[in-house]
C-alpha cells in the first residue's frame, strides 16, 4: 500500500512510465507500494495542488516508513499474524477511499482519461492484479519471519529481478555495464544475507517470491499497458477492488475466520488508523510524481531505507552486523549507478 506494499509494498509508489521504452526505476518498493505508470494528461487538465520537493519528499519518507513500522508492530508486537487479512483490509479501504476522493477532489480526474475495456480488463488488469496480490501477500508474510532491516536489504534486489525478466523475454538487451551492476547488487545482497544473524529460510523464500511477483508485474505493465498512463492513486482506484476480491477469495483457505476473532484484541481504532496511514502514503505518492528527477527520488528511497534499518534497530531491537552494512552499501551503490545509467 497500496500498501504494495511494500504491507508497505502496496503503499510505496515507484514511478514508472509505461509509454516509453522499457526502463525501470530501481527505487525499492514496500509491501504494498504500487510501482505504477505516470499519470495521464487530460486535454484540459484541472490544476492540482502542488508541493515542493523539499516538502513532499520528507512527508513521503515519514509515511512510507510509518506504514512498514506500523505493519511490523501489528504483526509482531500485537501478535496479529494475519497478513492476508491485513492486505485485504488495506485494499478494501483503498478502494473506498479512492472513490471518495474521486467525488470530492480533483486528485483522480485522470480516471476519466483511462478507458478500460472488458477485453483489457481480463487480458491485462486481472493478470497484473493476480501478481500484485501475490506480491503483497508474500511480502507481508515475510515480516512474520524476518526483521524489517533485513527485508529492506533484500528489496535492493528488485531492479535485478526486473532486468533478468526483461532480458529473458527480450524486452531489453543485456550489456556489459548492466551486467556489472547486476553482479554488484547481487553480491551486496548476498553479503547482507550472509551476515544476517536471524536468517529464516521460509521468510527468505516468501520475500524472494514477492520480489519475483513484483518484477513480473512491472514487466507485464510494460508489455500489456503500453501507452496507458496512470499515477499511483489512479492505479489504486482500478487495482484495489480487483486485488481485494482476489485476496478475499484466498482468505478462507489461508487464514479462515481466525483474524476476525482476533480483531477484538487489536481493536477497530488500530485497524482503521493502520489502513488510513497506508492510504495517505498513496495520496502522497501523487504529489511525489514530478517533483524531482528519478535519481533524486531514488536517493530519497535509499535515505528512507537507511532510516528504516536504523529505526528497526532502535525500535524493535533488530541486529545488524558489519558484514550486512558492508553488503548493503555495495547494493545501494549499485542501485544509484543503475539509475544514473538510465537502466541501459
| pLDDT in the model for residue 162 | 85
Position 20 pLDDT exceeds 70: no
More confident residue, 48 or 315: 315
Average pLDDT, the chain: 81
pLDDT per position as a tens digit, 244-297: 999 999 999 999 999 999 999 999 999 999 999 999 988 887 777 666 655 667
Q: Is residue 62 within 8 Å of residue 12, measured between CB atoms?
A: no
Instruction: Annotate 145-157 with DSSP letters as a single string.
Output: TS-HHHHHHHGGG
Binning pLDDT at 50, 70 and 90, where does residue 48 land? low
Position 16 pLDDT exceeds 50: no
More confident residue, 14 or 278: 278
| pLDDT in the model for residue 168 | 86
Peptide bond into 298 cis (omega under 30): no
* Count of beta carbons in the 10 Å neighbourhood of residue 184: 18
Residues 6+ apart with CB under 8 A from 266: 74, 78, 80
Bridge partner residues of 16 (DSSP): 37
Q: Which residue in the block uniquely carries the three cell numbers 485497524?
A: 271
Position 41 pLDDT exceeds 60: no
Q: Is the dihedral of CA 258, 264, 266, 271 positive or negative?
A: positive
Give the residue-averaged pLDDT of 9-34. Answer: 41
| pLDDT in the model for residue 210 | 93
CA-based radius of gyration for the chain:
19
SS3 301: helix
Strand locations in the chain, DSSP E?
Answer: 10-16, 33-37
Highest mean pLDDT among 93-102, 162-171, 222-231, 280-289: 93-102
Q: Is residue 85 within 8 Å of residue 23, measured between CB atoms?
A: no
DSSP 171: S
pLDDT per position as a tens digit, 297-307: 777 777 888 88
Q: Is residue 319 within 8 Å of residue 177, measured between CB atoms?
A: no
| pLDDT in the model for residue 3 | 45
Angle between the N-to-C axes of helices 232-254 and 268-288, in degrees from 0 to 180, rounded to the nearest 10 = 150
More confident residue, 188 or 8: 188
341: left (phi over 0), alpha (psi -120 to 50) or beta: alpha
| CA–CA separation, 228 and 246 (whole Å) | 23
Give the residue-averaged pLDDT of 88-96. Answer: 95
Instruction: Annotate 88-120 with DSSP letters as a single string.
Output: HHHHHHHHHHHHHHHHHSSTTGGGGG----HHH
Q: Percent of the chain at pLDDT above 70?
A: 81
SS3 33: strand
Give the residue-averaged pLDDT of 104-116. Answer: 86
Amino acid at each position: 500500500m497500496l500498501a504494495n506494499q511494500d504491507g508497505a509494498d502496496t503503499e510505496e509508489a515507484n514511478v514508472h512510465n509505461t509509454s516509453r521504452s522499457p526502463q525501470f526505476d530501481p527505487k525499492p518498493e514496500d509491501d504494498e507500494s504500487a510501482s505504477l505508470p505516470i499519470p495521464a494528461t487530460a486535454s484540459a487538465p484541472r490544476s492540482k495542488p502542488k508541493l515542493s520537493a523539499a516538502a513532499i519528499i520528507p512527508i513521503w519518507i515519514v509515511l512510507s516508513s510509518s506504514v512498514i513500522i506500523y505493519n511490523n508492530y501489528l504483526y509482531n508486537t500485537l501478535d496479529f499474524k494475519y497478513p492476508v487479512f491485513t492486505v485485504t483490509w488495506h485494499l478494501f479501504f483503498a478502494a473506498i477511499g479512492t472513490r471518495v476522493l474521486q467525488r470530492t477532489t480533483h486528485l483522480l480526474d485522470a480516471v476519466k482519461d483511462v478507458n478500460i475495456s472488458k477485453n483489457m480488463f481480463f487480458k491485462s488488469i486481472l493478470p497484473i492484479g493476480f501478481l500484485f496480490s501475490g506480491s503483497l501477500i508474500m511480502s507481508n508474510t515475510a515480516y512474520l519471519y524476518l526483521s524489517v532491516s533485513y527485508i529492506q536489504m533484500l528489496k535492493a534486489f528488485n531492479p535485478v529481478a526486473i532486468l533478468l525478466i526483461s532480458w529473458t523475454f527480450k524486452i531489453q538487451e543485456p550489456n556489459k555495464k548492466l551486467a556489472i551492476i547486476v553482479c554488484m547488487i547481487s553480491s551486496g545482497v548476498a553479503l547482507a544475507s550472509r551476515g544476517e544473524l536471524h536468517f529464516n529460510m521460509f521468510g527468505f523464500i516468501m520475500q524472494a517470491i514477492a520480489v519475483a511477483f513484483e518484477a513480473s508485474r512491472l514487466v507485464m505493465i510494460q508489455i500489456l499497458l503500453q501507452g496507458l498512463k496512470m499515477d499511483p492513486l489512479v492505479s489504486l482506484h482500478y487495482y484495489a477492488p480487483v486485488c481485494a476480491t482476489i485476496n478475499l477469495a484466498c482468505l478462507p483457505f489461508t487464514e479462515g475466520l481466525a483474524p476476525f476473532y482476533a480483531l477484538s484484541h487489536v481493536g477497530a481504532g488500530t485497524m482503521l488508523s493502520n489502513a488510513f496511514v497506508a492510504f495517505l502514503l498513496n495520496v502522497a505518492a501523487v504529489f511525489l510524481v514530478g517533483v524531482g528527477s528519478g535519481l533524486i527520488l531514488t536517493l530519497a528511497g535509499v535515505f528512507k531505507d537507511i532510516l528504516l534499518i536504523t529505526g528497526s534497530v532502535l525500535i524493535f531491537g533488530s541486529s545488524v552486523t558489519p558484514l550486512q552494512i558492508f553488503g548493503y552499501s555495495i547494493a545501494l551503490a549499485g542501485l544509484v549507478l543503475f539509475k544514473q545509467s538510465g537502466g541501459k
